[in-house]
Amino acid sequence: MALVPAQFVLPLLIGSVVLAGCATKETKPADPPPQPVTAPQPAPAPALPECKDEPGKSKTAAKSKTKSKTKEPECLPKGAENRAAGPTGPAAVAPAPANAGGYDLSRNKPVTDSSKVVAGEGTQVKGMNDWEGEISGIPAANSRFTKLRIGMSEKEVKDLIGNPTDEGQYITGKMFIPFYFGSDRIRWEMAYKGEGRLVFSQQSAGSSAVYLIWIIHNANDRGYR
């Protein structure tokens, strides 16, 4: 039997051990990626009721409670929820437009001189008995003109708001139209101090009846034509 030299035995033994270790080693699966941890969301605080005035408690006692830093508030001051909502919140109320007799005058500009008002710059409206007219300016505070409607007769207007400070008539360009006998040939104007002027139109040629066709709001009106 042939003998293997010693210098070949040691490498063969080492190679056998390495191969055996490789054959028995198992491949470990890759670890799953860590999942992000989400912090729990706090529950919304319950809405506080509105504070009510309690009889027998002074205002100073109520103020001393609001200054305490350790005690949580048990209610909200009146109107606090509406103030927190801001001007765009549901409780915000848009300012009401200026009105007279139910007419929307929100686009009207103030009148400073009643004698220089130009027809057509106000709000065109349709009034009683199909009369069409115009309303200029912005009503003064507590103006009696807000009771009026276009198409009212002169007598009805005076019965509602009283007599004017000054009044008088003037003719229009329709007076010079040949063979024209319709309305608005003559106008009657009434001036009310601190409120403005009212203009009435003649119903037809030869008639003494006049009807309101133009309301001019002017809080600075002197009351004289």
Residue 161 is assigned to a structural domain of this protein: yes
Q: Supply the pLDDT for residue 172.
A: 82
Domain range enclosing 201: 125-217
**Paired tokens of 21:** 């270790």
Which portions of the chain are predicted below pLDDT 50? 17-18, 22-25, 57-68, 81-96
- For the stretch 113-161, pLDDT in tens is 999 999 999 999 999 988 999 999 999 888 999 999 999 999 999 999 9
CA 92 to chain centroid, in Å, comes to 7
Residue 169 is assigned to a structural domain of this protein: yes
φ, ψ at 148 (rounded to 5°):
-95, 160
Number of domains the chain is built from? 1
Residue 71 is assigned to a structural domain of this protein: no
- For the stretch 66-81, pLDDT in tens is 444 555 556 666 555 4
The label of the residue with tokens 């003494």 reads: 208
Burial status of residue 136 (CB atoms within 10 A of its CB: 0-12, 13-18, 19 or more): buried
- Three-state DSSP at 213 gives strand
Residue 20 is assigned to a structural domain of this protein: no
DSSP state of 18: H
Q: Supply the pLDDT for residue 6.
A: 56
3-state SS track over 86-152: CCCCCCCCCCCCCEECCEECCCCCCCCCHHHCCCCCCEEEECHHHCEEEEECCCCCCCHHHHCCCCC
- Cβ pair 216, 196 in contact under 8 A: yes
Q: Supply the pLDDT for residue 39.
A: 58
Picking from 159, 157, 161, 146, the residue whose alpha carbon sits closest to that of residue 211 is 157
Residue 146 is assigned to a structural domain of this protein: yes
Residue 131 is assigned to a structural domain of this protein: yes
Q: What is the DSSP pairing of strand 123-126 with strand 132-136?
A: antiparallel
**Paired tokens of 86:** 């801001």
Residue 202 is assigned to a structural domain of this protein: yes
Residue 141 is assigned to a structural domain of this protein: yes
